Structure 1
């Protein structure tokens, strides 16, 4: 083989693979690299999983607090409606009837007062 043949990519890759297979030192380095690489991938996967789980829990807590606030608001609105319903507004039928009765009794008292004179 000529020195120019070693510059071709196919030959260079083949020479590197043969050196790795037959050299105990290179095999040890490759094995260690695979172990550390695998460990790094597992740690990164755990970090991503933990991050996603925390985001899910945060979203769940947020929706729970929004639901509670909504329920409290609805409850307060119902209580406010009950309070305003117990107070009769001016101009309702029962208030009008009360006013008519009062005006009749006042008119009757005035007539009786005029007859006495």
Structure 2
């Protein structure tokens, strides 16, 4: 089971960037999370030419290899990555059904 799904639109943008940067076709897009302080976890997004078969879950989606470290699977389970190219917003958007935001006072609420 794949923790992260990318849309066709996101895959098209990833392929465009990879082509522009002359990355090998075997390059994977790496998606993860890192500690984000008061607002909780933040998403990480980059490229990896050598995913670790033992530590990573790698899936091919719309012609793009997607690598997620297995330790992040629980945090990312069900996440859909899309790409928006609109007048007021351009970039990758992470839609995570498990996301919970919190503030320094200890309160939390669903996003």
TM range (shorter): under 0.3
Length-normalised TM-score, structure 1: 0.17
- Structure with max Cα Rg: 1
Question: Which has the larger share of strand?
Answer: 2
> Higher relative contact order at CA 8 Å, sep ≥6: structure 1 or structure 2?
2
Question: Which has the larger share of helix?
Answer: 1
